[in-house]
Structure 1
Amino acid sequence: MIWKPNVTVAAIIERAGKYLLVEEDQQEWGIQLNQPAGHLEPNESIIQACVREVLEETAYTFIPHWLVGIYHWHSNKTNTTFIRFAFSGTVTEFDAGRMLDSGILRAAWFDLSEIRDRRDCHRSPLVMQCIDDYLAGKRYSLEIFTHYD
């Protein structure tokens, strides 16, 4: 058997003390809270994947400014290992008519107390860890990424 971790991206987007998160209907586990996040697809860079995922899950255009961290996490629920690249940045245009990805119930702005109060429905422990790292000032230049076609 060949072992392969899942490469994922996530966006930490803060505006006026609130964070843009999505509520997802995870049929097996109910409604869960997550950053706009998803999997790297063929022929896209890690940064492009994050921009695409934010648009698909929130209808906002995302401009990444920094890498917040790279996270290695194994889900015992799904027996899957994830390598997550988390970015911080800003959003610009909002496309109110855009359909959100399947399973996304809504994208909304949450303050820290709301996020902490709903910790039991976070999609993974990375949701809070990424925000905590962002709050701790972790910022790494995007110049670290090189993408070859």
Structure 2
Amino acid sequence: MHWQPHITVATVIEDQGRFLLVEELAEGRTVLNQPAGHLEANESLLQAAIRETLEETGWDVQLTGVIGIYLYTAPSNGVTYQRVCFAGKALQQHPARPLDEGIIAPRWLTRDELAAQPQRWRSELVPRCIDDYLTGELFPLSLIRDPA
């Protein structure tokens, strides 16, 4: 049996106690997730995080640190994802920019507003990444070593 993890990135973007989330359609449900997606060929993890955030929310962001690296096996399909989650800050919104297919809209929610809707989490990683961010422990972006 051939097993291969899927490499993904996500961003936690906070502004005055609210977090930039994505309301999206996934497996026939409307869910909330961090801006997140798959690493593409010839792309660094940092480039992927910035690109995915822009494509899913219309926001340019500046990455400020690494929150953590997570392994998650989705119960719906048994696929294992390795997620590298970055912290960042919002720089500029492009409201006229079309969003990725399946994205309903970006949403700014507090941690409490997110906690009140567990049935809408895309996965348990959504609150976990925010909670890990809220501990204040960020790793430097230099943790990520791109090929020379």
Q: Which amino acid aligns with 2:111?
A: L
- Determine the C-alpha separation between the residues in 2 that align with 1:62 and 1:119: 26
1:143 aligns with 142
User: Which segments of 5 or more consecutive residues in structure 2 lack a partner in the other structure?
Assistant: none
**2:25 corresponds to:** 25
CA distance in 2, matches of 1:112, 1:66: 20
Percent of aligned pairs with the same amino acid: 41
Give the equivalent residue in structure 2 for 1:2.
2
Q: Tell me the SS of whatever aligns to 2:52.
A: helix
Q: Figure out how many residues of one structure are paired with residues of the other and give that number.
A: 148
8 Å contact from structure 1 (residues 69, 138) kept in 2: no
Find runs of 4+ consecutive structure 1 residues off by over 3 angstroms: none
Output aligned runs, 1:1-149, within 5 Å: 1-26=1-26, 28-148=27-147
- Contact kept in structure 1, 2:14 and 2:20, CA below 8 Å: yes
1:138, distance to aligned residue in structure 2 (A): 2.0
Scaled by the length of structure 1, what TM-score is found?
0.96
RMSD of aligned C-alpha atoms? 1.0
The answer as to whether partners of 2:15 and 2:90 remain within 8 angstroms in 1 is: no
In the alignment, the residues of structure 1 paired with residue 28 and residue 129 of structure 2 have an alpha-carbon distance, to the nearest angstrom, of: 21
